[in-house]
Structure 1
């Protein structure tokens, strides 16, 4: 059980000393292209034309990771923060309404943090299509985000947005949030998994906190190297390993926390929620300690899919921190 003090407590703003801020790229491979036609481009107005040759060696499928190491970390293990689909590590940085995000929250709480931009996202960069990536990119519209992320039940053709009456997402900052969206590809999961596995191998032992699409990569990463992951925090996970093809006995003793918000209605979210319960039950049967939290059942209502951006996100972070303190001593 998590006490009332943990629900209300939150670290003071920016009360920590930083030892090091840095970044690295990890994963990926060199790809060679040849036989493609050259073209002439003017890079900048007034500059002479330049012949650009698209052939040669290129880096592709790498991932970007930014880390912040504290002078005196209170937590035994660093915290890896993995974002969801069509998003980047900005998910955990400053919130769309300008408040500090979960990266700063957990730095305040004493954790070294590693925030990633997965393969094809943000500062990881992306590669040529169709020469390297085998599928076309796709993009998330504002309408899809509003409804799918459960900020509100409808988004009209005229752009009129209807929020849930109890919505905790800062709707006035929705347009700021959608500026974060980046293209994604449906064909790069294997390369993304390899990059995440390489990050775990480089950084861990650690704790992995993952959101939405990122959760499946986290679940598979711990199956690959269970000795390196000391706890898993799954924030509204949307994908899971196939229970018929994995050995969950390898995860015995690794604590898992699942958290879901409100308004889990409709075929998509009802199925995701049911699949999460099914996977959590299988973990429990394999002797992995599991805590499954549906926030409305605890009297916390109105949370969207973007729990780390909602106006009560510090309350949710305090639940995570309290659980980690109890389970990673």
Structure 2
């Protein structure tokens, strides 16, 4: 059933919260009990998808001959994938977790304060789960071609890919932990006592225009490998999964975006294709939901099944951009699971 308008969206979101936890007198007690149960898996593993094997010379940053770095074939722009399948699998379609800029799949593995991340939480809920490291990031490695060439004077510095890295100072405001560095919002859900653990996972990231294409191509290769699935993206990863899903309508069974949508130019799907896939967008506190609500309404007008949930409207306050690893992330996971139950056929 399609609904529209602010009041309908609020009512729908509230019903999701109540639907997600029937009969639980104390969610904290329930979660503690669940997280202490043995995690029983049918299968787990890792693999790579996408990218290319290409000949590279030079194959080192050194000009000294070295048999370990002769010119030759290397892998570039591939994607690392980690997965696990629960013994008691309750959902037909797996979930693919796509991180955002400056991060890796670790974002979904463990929270900074040491709790299980969604990679494990959704496994316990009965989903097969897949978490990726984007090309040129983390366990995928990075394409060193231009850096090696520049180090040997074969290319100018302008040949280097644009890259950036988030700092703690930028994260405070960009990720909405507080209005300025060192000043938290009174109700912030980010576990600030563990910020150093969070900083350990941030990585430099290539941010030149081709990177989104590499990520989206690899996600398409992953969909082709594992078959029908649900894709969940965070930050720039939202645009990545939306584009990949829109290239695989019918196989992509649902898309969940934890900010930012509509995606930035160059990282956005064709609207009419996106309208073919159920879409849930989630927006945290201390920001405006207007753009997200307008985007999902544009999908609804094309016949799509799309919703934007602004977390304060359903009683979840203090969440910033890093909502998936914040202190109430399991309540947000409940919201997502309930939406999947109702909208992913």
Task: Calculate the TM-score normalised by the size of structure 2.
Answer: 0.82
Which consecutive aligned stretches of 4+ in structure 1 deviate over 3 angstroms post-superposition? 7-11, 35-41, 50-54, 131-134, 245-253
Residue 134 of structure 1: CA displacement? 4.6
* SS of equivalent to 1:202: helix
Residue 182 of structure 1: CA displacement? 0.7
CA displacement, residues 238-280 of structure 1 (integer Å, 9 cap, x when unaligned): 552769x96533445521111111111xxxxx5xx54433331
CA displacement, residues 74-107 of structure 1 (integer Å, 9 cap, x when unaligned): 0121011111110000111110000111111111
**Corresponding residue for 1:282?**
298
Distance in 1 (CA, whole Å) between partners of 2:57 and 2:192 is 48
**Corresponding residue for 1:102?**
118
CA displacement, residues 121-144 of structure 1 (integer Å, 9 cap, x when unaligned): 111110115258851432111101
Label 1:246 to 1:86 Cα distance change in 2 as closer, same or farther (>3 A).
Answer: closer
**Corresponding residue for 1:177?**
198
Label 1:150 to 1:53 Cα distance change in 2 as closer, same or farther (>3 A).
Answer: same
- How do 1:13-28 and structure 2 match up within 5 A? 13=35, 14=37, 16-28=39-51
* SS of equivalent to 1:135: coil
Kept in 2: contact 1:31–1:57 (CA 8 A): yes
Distance in 2 (CA, whole Å) between partners of 1:68 and 1:32 is 33
- Counterpart pick for 2:286 among 263, 266, 278: 263
Kept in 2: contact 1:140–1:181 (CA 8 A): yes
- Counterpart pick for 1:205 among 228, 236, 241: 228
Distance in 1 (CA, whole Å) between partners of 2:143 and 2:269 is 31
Distance in 1 (CA, whole Å) between partners of 2:270 and 2:64 is 54
**Corresponding residue for 2:131?**
115
Distance in 2 (CA, whole Å) between partners of 1:298 and 1:305 is 17
Residue 52 of structure 1: CA displacement? 5.3
**Corresponding residue for 1:138?**
164
**Corresponding residue for 2:184?**
163
The aligned length equals 308
**Corresponding residue for 2:212?**
189
Confirm whether residue 214 of structure 1 aligns to residue 216 of structure 2: no
**Corresponding residue for 2:18?**
4
* SS of equivalent to 2:256: strand
Label 1:38 to 1:28 Cα distance change in 2 as closer, same or farther (>3 A).
Answer: same
Task: Calculate the TM-score normalised by the size of structure 1.
Answer: 0.86
- Counterpart pick for 1:82 among 81, 93, 98: 98
Kept in 1: contact 2:293–2:307 (CA 8 A): no
Distance in 2 (CA, whole Å) between partners of 1:205 and 1:170 is 35
**Corresponding residue for 1:327?**
343
CA displacement, residues 55-80 of structure 1 (integer Å, 9 cap, x when unaligned): 22211100000010122310121011
Kept in 1: contact 2:56–2:145 (CA 8 A): no
Q: What is the RMSD of the two structures over their aligned residues, measured on CA atoms?
A: 2.5
* SS of equivalent to 1:277: helix
Label 1:143 to 1:166 Cα distance change in 2 as closer, same or farther (>3 A).
Answer: same
Confirm whether residue 154 of structure 1 aligns to residue 177 of structure 2: no
Distance in 1 (CA, whole Å) between partners of 2:252 and 2:264 is 17
Distance in 1 (CA, whole Å) between partners of 2:285 and 2:269 is 30
Label 1:207 to 1:128 Cα distance change in 2 as closer, same or farther (>3 A).
Answer: same
Distance in 1 (CA, whole Å) between partners of 2:183 and 2:145 is 37
* SS of equivalent to 1:162: coil
Structure 2 residue ranges without an equivalent (≥5)? 1-11, 149-158
